[in-house]
Amino acid sequence: MRLLKAFLADNTGATAIEYGLIAALIGGAIVSALGIFSGKLQEIFNVVGNNMTVN
């Protein structure tokens, strides 16, 4: 019974789960931001590529 109480009182695993959730949220935000700005970034690279000359 004492072992079960000690196991239920242990909170170290909760911290790891919280850090994992935070990392997942940050990763999702980065993927979303890249999805939003990828079209504009592609346009910029196309403009730069079209205006370059080969010597």
Q: Is residue 10 part of a domain?
A: no
The whole-angstrom separation of Cα 23 and Cα 11 is 19
* Per-residue pLDDT, 32: 92
Q: How far is CA 33 from CA 29, 39, 42, 44, 51, in A?
A: 6, 11, 14, 17, 27
* Per-residue pLDDT, 28: 95
Q: Is residue 13 part of a domain?
A: no
Q: What is the number of structural domains in the chain?
A: 1
Q: Is residue 34 part of a domain?
A: yes
Question: 35 lies in which domain range?
Answer: 27-55
Q: Is residue 1 part of a domain?
A: no
The H-assigned helical ranges of 1-55 are 2-9, 12-51
Q: Is residue 21 part of a domain?
A: no
42 Rama sector, left if φ>0, alpha if ψ -120 to 50, beta otherwise: alpha
* Per-residue pLDDT, 8: 75
* Per-residue pLDDT, 1: 81
Q: Is residue 14 part of a domain?
A: no
The whole-angstrom separation of Cα 10 and Cα 8 is 6
Q: Is residue 45 part of a domain?
A: yes
Q: How do residues 1-55 score in pLDDT, each as one tens digit?
A: 888 888 777 777 777 888 899 999 999 999 998 888 888 888 999 999 999 877 6
